[in-house]
Amino acid sequence: NAGVMQNPRHLVRRRGQEARLRCSPMKGHSHVYWYRQLPEEGLKFMVYLQKENIIDESGMPKERFSAEFPKEGPSILRIQQVVRGDSAAYFCASSPFKGNEKLFFGSGTQLSVL
């Protein structure tokens, strides 16, 4: 049973390009969470999704950021027209139930914007 898979591990983009970060949850997990870790800062919640639904996007910036978790395939965090301030580590976690005791984290995607 593979763990939470995130890809790519490292992503380099130039200002103005789009970044697409993928997260495949553990098998049987239908709840996905995205977090961002800016340099020298703590983790920050971005969005919580269940299959085909966004449940809580209160941590997402109002513009340029979107997330989806389709019926088939991985969850995608999409950042349009990236800026240098978007450079961060983006982590995804999954769980089988809401309020589950344990979250399973992916290894993260390090986004660098040049």
Partner 1 sequence: KNEVEQSPQNLTAQEGEFITINCSYSVGISALHWLQQHPGGGIVSLFMLSSGKKKHGRLIATINIQEKHSSLHITASHPRDSAVYICAVRSQGGSEKLVFGKGTKLTVNP
Site residues for partner 1 per CB under 8 A: 31, 33, 35, 41-45, 48, 55-56, 58-59, 89, 91, 93, 98-99, 101-105, 107-108, 110
> One-letter amino acid identity for 98?
K
Query: Which residue lies nearer to partner 1 by CB, 50 or 80?
Result: 50
The most distant pair of C-alpha atoms in the chain lies apart, rounded to whole Å, by 39
Shortest spacing between CB 101 and partner 1, in angstroms: 4
CA distance 48 to 53: 9
Pairing of strands 109-113, 88-95: antiparallel
- Nearest alpha-carbon partner for 88 in 67, 74, 108: 108
Query: Which residue lies nearer to partner 1 by CB, 7 or 17?
Result: 7
Shortest spacing between CB 18 and partner 1, in angstroms: 24
Query: Which residue lies nearer to partner 1 by CB, 19 or 47?
Result: 47
Shortest spacing between CB 46 and partner 1, in angstroms: 10
CA distance 33 to 114: 27
